[in-house]
Structure 1
Amino acid sequence: MTRNKLRLAIVGAGPAGIYAADILLKAERNFDVSIDLFDHLPAPYGLVRYGVAPDHPRIKGIITALREVLDRGDIRIFGNVHFGEDITLDDLKKHYNAVIFATGAVRDASLPIPGIELEGSYGAADFVSWFDGHPDFPRTWPLEAESVAVIGNGNVALDVSRILAKHADDLLTTEIPANVYEGLQASPVTDVHVFGRRGPTSVKFTPLELRELGELRDVDMIVYDEDFDYDDAARAAVSGNKQVFVIDKVLNQWRQRETGNASRRLHLHFFAKPLEIVDDGTGRVGAIRYERTAPDGEGGVVGTGEIREIPIQAIYRAVGYFGSPLAGVPFDDSYGVIPNHEGQVLTHDAETGEARQLYGVYATGWIKRGPVGLIGHTKSDAMETVKHLINDLGNWWSPESPSEESVVELLESRGIAYTDLDGWHRLDEHEKALGEPEGRARIKVVPRDEMVEISRGE
């Protein structure tokens, strides 16, 4: 079978999807390529737009690189299109030779401890979506607690802790929407407690994230001397790993700081394994109960049996993200990913029970490998998937309506108010114009219907 053109659909217009498109267009191949990106959101860039704290302009710089790819004009975007509702896998088979799913992971991973279901217990991903102005989340957030716990020792835990502890006025230089500023401005918080079950040399956050915490205005950084009695494994980590060395140095500098004058405090509790969220008697969060842990001599920890409790009125779990299933696509409920071999999606043969390749269907990014790794991993991930896509040429789908116009006709016949690249440019300019009078790079438009109307010029 000879092929001279690949019509490719990519579901997900975040970094994973955009990188996959860019890598394929630049790859050595003996056929032409036509790529359509679909996303359920009206605007592109996925978690870079809706999963990175607004006071992280350096990370937002990734958008500049992604924008350059889209602005070349050789990739079409269809935003505000819900896969599984507005367009299905069967639809894609009629119009494309293959599809790559790059839908990421946006749900909070669970934390199976008693009391986690109490009122005042939240997932970090939901909170991030709120303060990032995600159109599918409520406009208000219950910020009523004076003392808050954040469980986790990764960058998301630090993002959540920083936004909770930071004074709202110090976010006015960012793209933070007005409703988020108003919510944070009214917050009565005085203490944010961050819990990690391992020691300071085993944290998952980066030195840059940690340093930013220490730069918060009118916030004391509280660390506890008992957490710095290192064993040989911890000392080896400090001397043998530059990142751990810098983190250790920053934390030890904080130990020397004078505290007690700030109106807010951010506490870092290491060697603290959460056991239970305690009910205050009314069905709300009242305290966190945790076990003090100790190094096991091999880089891990063991419980000491010492139980402690700290009064809190809210808790955020930041223990990782989790993928969501897609209609008609295999899904691994245990790991929150699409089962695959190097990006080639796998299905189970009903008769033999063995895994076999589901031809024409691929995955990349967090929905492929789980929510680990940074942007660099996403690029190498996409390269692996695209390599298999090219080599699988003989097993692509044979669509009955492969023309570029046919997809537009399909969406319009179903009354889908899709947005395109010109529409994103309109929304982009509108948000920048909103920010200009206040000296800000942009102010995000939050309501979905407003985003769509601006994008479509209606």
Structure 2
Amino acid sequence: MSRPLRVAVVGAGPAGIYASDLLVKSGRDVAIDLFERMPAPFGLIRYGVAPDHPRIKGIVKSLHTVLDKPEIRLLGNIEVGRDVTVDELREFYDAIVFSTGATADRDLKITGSDLEGFHGASEFVGFYDGNPNFARDWNLTAEKVAVIGVGNVALDVARILAKTADELHVTEIPDNVYGNLGRSAVKEVHVFGRRGPAQAKFTPLELKELDHSANVEVIVDPEDIDYDAASEQSRRDSKSVDLVCQTLENYAIREPKGAQHKLYLHFFESPVEILGKDGRVAGLKTERTELDGTGNVRGTGKFSTWESQAVYRAVGYRSDAVTGVPFDDERAVIPNDGGRVIDPDTDSPIQGLYATGWIKRGPVGLIGNTKSDAKDTTGMLLEDFEAGRLEAPAKPELSAVVEMLTSRGIAVTTWDGWHRLDAAERALGEAEGRERKKIVEWDDMVSHAGPEYHI
């Protein structure tokens, strides 16, 4: 083939960027267009990681290296399924890889979930990370807050709620977030897990970082430190699980440091009802559980009521469907065989369509899992290409898709545009002695980032 293999990757978060990188490193002559719905790249690294985690945001540096490669072209501010259909993309590309991730909250079917003050974690994350799709103001009048879930997102939400605004002002949070946090009335944050310490999904470093603030007292009840045979085996099998348990044990036995804000980690408390008063959250009812020997738990019939004026559910993210692509509503993933998109009616692969990352397997795992996903998916794509199973596009020229998009009046943002937006955010931060201050409004982002292409 005298022309490069043309691939569209939909979603410019880590999953899409890693897939693009592997295609470039395959040794084939490739030309990749990385489509992103937002005006800026990086997905959940930009809009899902708490602002006080510069270590994790350092991943952006490695993603920069990938996007600097000439074989990869970023096309931002474009929603596939709305601005351009999947069938239309087929005219320009040999293959399409979907890596759209997950940004919505999973439902928690619990009585009282319709009360005002019951929030999904992603809503709050979107607020404090300055995602233009989410609220600019947040009600922080609650003095006592409950967080349901024992994963890293639950820790992020709890930590941001417990910290002071001034502690976070050194980060990239925008002015509206700083102002809201400065008016926060939160004094206590209670995190609830249905099972025990050995079943928590925290990563060890994230759990230790919870205690780094001088203004936050992390509290664990010694009665919540309990293990059955399966839990002990988990500790022996996994260094990470053992480190989490050790950290929780240390929290349980240490002397108080007298910090102004309290952050409680509760285990063996299964939420059963959100209590309300006058249409608002007033508390959380939980049932005490106990280990059954297998690492699972059973109810004890003992119930407790916890005063709370707001409840956040951090029970996992959920992917949204892409118009024109099969979607499994129950699992919230694109049906696939490990990489190739599957037609649910025929149970056979759809020629030229692939999936990677959370839209492929659900919102679980860390960056290492995302890289493994990308390797499997790109391997299948290249295998199909070598076997002649990909249909050649009618318009493979690099200019063709851009001409179509700009003819529709779409303000396409690019990698060069990201550098301009990045410089603008850094300049705003530098004026206040910070590394950057995030620009929030969508139109402002587009104004700085482009459009690179226009009519």
Shorter-chain TM range is over 0.9
Contact 1:364 1:382 in 2 (8 A): yes
CA–CA separation in structure 2 for the residues paired with 1:295 and 1:182? 43
Residue of structure 2 equivalent to 1:443? 437
Query: Counterpart of 1:121?
Result: 118
Q: Which amino acid counterpart does residue 127 of structure 1 have in structure 2?
A: F
- What TM-score, normalized by structure 2, do the two folds share? 0.96
Structure 1 residues 261 and 278: alpha-carbon distance in aligned structure 2, compared to 1, 3 A threshold: same
Q: Within 5 A, what are the aligned runs for 1:219-230? A: 219-230=216-227
User: Which residue, 280, 302, 305 being the options, matches 2:301?
Assistant: 305
1:343 correspondence with 2:339? yes
**Residues 218-251 of structure 1, C-alpha deviations (whole Å, 9 max, x = no match):** 2221211211243333334334432222222222
Aligned-partner Cα distance in 1 for 2:12–2:123? 20
Corresponding letter in the other structure for 2:139? P
SS at match of 2:420: helix
Q: Shift in Å at residue 5 of structure 1?
A: 2.8
Aligned to 2:356: 364
CA shift, 1:399, in A, is 1.9
CA contact (8 A) 1:7 1:402 kept: yes
Indicate the residue corresponding to 1:199 in structure 2: 196
**Alpha-carbon deviation of 1:78?**
0.8
User: Which residue in 2 is equivalent to 1:388?
Assistant: 380
| CA deviation profile, 1:352-379 (whole Å, cap 9, x unmatched) | xx30111011000000011111111111
SS for the counterpart of 1:94 is: coil
Displacement of 1:348: 2.8
Match of 1:16 in 2: 15
Aligned partner of 2:180 in structure 1 is 183
* Structure 1 match to 2:396: 402
CA distance in 2: counterparts of 1:96 and 1:229, whole angstroms: 55
Secondary structure of the equivalent of 1:438?
A: coil
Counterpart residue number, 1:454: 448
The one-letter amino acid paired with 1:211 is: K
One-letter amino acid of the counterpart of residue 413, structure 2: T
Deviation of 1:303 after TM superposition, in Å, equals: 0.5
Q: Give the unaligned 5+ runs of structure 1.
A: none
Contact 1:166 1:217 in 2 (8 A): no
DSSP 3-state at the match of 1:384:
helix
Q: 1:239 to 1:376 in 2, by over 3 A?
A: closer
Q: Secondary structure in 2 aligned to 1:341?
A: coil
| Aligned positions of 1:57-96 closer than 5 A | 57-96=54-93
2:102 is aligned to: 105
Deviations 1:117-153 (A, max 9, x none): 2110000011111100101112111111111000000
In structure 2, give the amino acid aligned to 1:16: A
C-alpha root-mean-square deviation of aligned residues, in Å? 1.4
Among 210, 214, 225, which residue is 1:213 paired with? 210
**In the alignment, is the contact (CA less than 8 A) between 1:93 and 1:397 conserved in 2?**
no
* Structure 2, gaps ≥5 residues long: none
- Note closer, same or farther for the CA distance 1:356–1:425 as it changes in structure 2 (3 Å cut): same
Provide the secondary structure at the position in 2 that maps to 1:325.
coil
What TM-score, normalized by structure 1, do the two folds share? Answer: 0.96
Range with greater deviation from structure 2 (209-218 or 322-331): 209-218
Distance in 2, matches of 1:285 and 1:254, equals: 29
3-state SS, counterpart of residue 310 of structure 1: strand
Fraction of identical pairs, as percent: 54
CA offsets, 1:324-375, max 9 Å, x none? 01111000001110000111000033xxxx3011101100000001111111
In structure 2, what is the Cα distance between the partners aligned to 1:147 and 1:417?
44
**1:46 & 1:249 partners in 2: Cα distance?**
33
Point out the more displaced range, 361-370 or 89-98. Answer: 89-98
| Secondary structure, counterpart of 2:55 in structure 1 | helix
Q: Give, as a single letter, the amino acid of the residue that structure 1 aligns with 2:251.
A: W
1:416 alignment partner AA:
I
Runs of 4+ in 1 over 4 A off after TM superposition: none
The answer on whether the counterparts of 2:112 and 2:276 sit within 8 Å (CA) in structure 1 is yes
